[in-house]
Structure formats: C-alpha cells, structure tokens
Structure 1
C-alpha cells in the first residue's frame, strides 16, 4: 500500500497540481494587493473619492468603548468589501486567462510520425502485381 501511495504521489499530475495550488495562492496575494492598493483607489477617485472598503449598511451601532466591559461591536453589512472581492475575482480570472492562453500558445503540436517505409497502398499494389505474375 505504501508503494502504491508513493507511485501516486510521484506522478506528474499530482506534483503539477501541488505547484499550481501554491502558485495560485501567491498569485492571489499579488492580485489582492494590486486590487486593494492600485485599482480600487483609482476607481474611488473616479467615483468622487469613495473608498469601497468602507462602504457598509450599519444594522446595529457600536455601544461602549472598545476593551471595556459591556462593549458591543458594530454589526454591519460590508458591501464595499464585497465589491472589492468581485473586482479581485475579475482580475484573477483575467490573469489566469492570460496565463493559460500564453501556455497554450507556447505548446508546440507534436510532429507527425515519419513514415517508416512504403505505405499500405504501395504494399497492396506490390502484392497485387505479384499475384498477377503468378
């Protein structure tokens, strides 16, 4: 059983999948930083200085002072953070599309196998000619 597991783990597909998961995490962090630090401030500038991360509908106001007894945190629907997540998703999708498109372009089609002798039609023609001579 251990040998079968080792063979399974050492196959190319599992290793490629592991690398893809690690790379996806790294790309996700980079894209998240790009969205939050570059794209959303530009979008906010065009929408009148709105910071989408702070957009929310407050359901219950906070009461008391943070850290003291009896403090109740604010309860809010943070739809601005959700908008940031949607933009993040669109950019990740675009980046993955570009990566896959470039990968597919780099793949070269396999070369057709070279003929290793006479074709089947030529062999059949030779057999026919030999039979006619008999």
Structure 2
C-alpha cells in the first residue's frame, strides 16, 4: 500500500475529521473566553479589590531608564498569568458541564429499556385470526 493511499485513508476516517473540527471550534472558543474574562469578569473583580487591574500587575526587575536607550524595563507580568488562570478555569468549567450533560444523556439512554417484543396473542385473538384466514380462503 502506498504512503499516499494510506494517508488518504487516515484522513478520510471520521475521527480525524471530528478532531479537526474540535480543534477549530476550540480555537474560536478561546477568543470568546478571553473576551469574557478580560472584558466582563475581571472589571468587577477589579472593583471588588479596590480598582485593581490584574493585567497590569507586574514585578519590575529592572526599571526603565530614559537616560540610556539600551536599558528597557524588565518585569514579570504575573497579572497576565492570573488572567490566564481564570480563563483556564472558565474553559475547564464549561467542558466539565458539557461532559456532565453528555454523560447524563447517555445514562438516560442506557436506562431506557429496549422495546420488548409484542405480547403473544390471546386465545381469542388466535381464534379470530383463524376465522379470518378461513374466510379469506373460502372466497
């Protein structure tokens, strides 16, 4: 089997296509979560903490020195890291809720009994069926 044919079969499998769609949707979802955290969740949290903007929090290791052009400010921006952690927890919570929903649906489907076979005909039904068949034969 040629490598090209093998690769084409690999790509044509449903799992690979589903994975690709998942990655694309996940990347788009990342932008939504980033906007939600930065523009909706963090401002009220900043208000509760006295107007603190987490994205601006940093530890300055070397301050900006305007006298020399070569020396730039060096800082550890831990506020951006806090924002990223909050984004992660939001994504984790959403994924958890989706998995919980899907598992609940699967459990409900598993609990639903399969349709049983129709009950055996009663003696009266058997007799009526025989009468019907005899009438059909006599015509």
TM-score (norm 1): 0.73
1:11-59: CA deviations, max 9, x gaps? 1110010011111111111001100111011110101110001111100
Unmatched runs of 5 consecutive residues or more in structure 1: 116-134
State the partner residue of 2:25. Answer: 23
Following TM superposition, by how much is the alpha carbon of 1:113 offset from its aligned partner in structure 2, in angstroms? 8.8
In structure 2, the CA distance between the partners of 1:114 and 1:15, relative to structure 1 (3 Å rule), is farther
State the partner residue of 1:79. Answer: 78
TM-score (norm 2): 0.71
| CA distance in 2: counterparts of 1:41 and 1:58, whole angstroms | 23
Moved more, 86-95 or 97-106: 97-106
Does 2:99 match 1:97?
no
1:53-81: CA deviations, max 9, x gaps? 1111100001228xxx8242210111111
| CA distance in 2: counterparts of 1:17 and 1:52, whole angstroms | 34
Q: Which has the higher contact order (CA 8 A, sep 6+)?
A: 1
Structure (1 or 2) with the larger CA radius of gyration: 2
RMSD of aligned Cα (Å): 2.3
Following TM superposition, by how much is the alpha carbon of 1:5 offset from its aligned partner in structure 2, in angstroms? 1.1
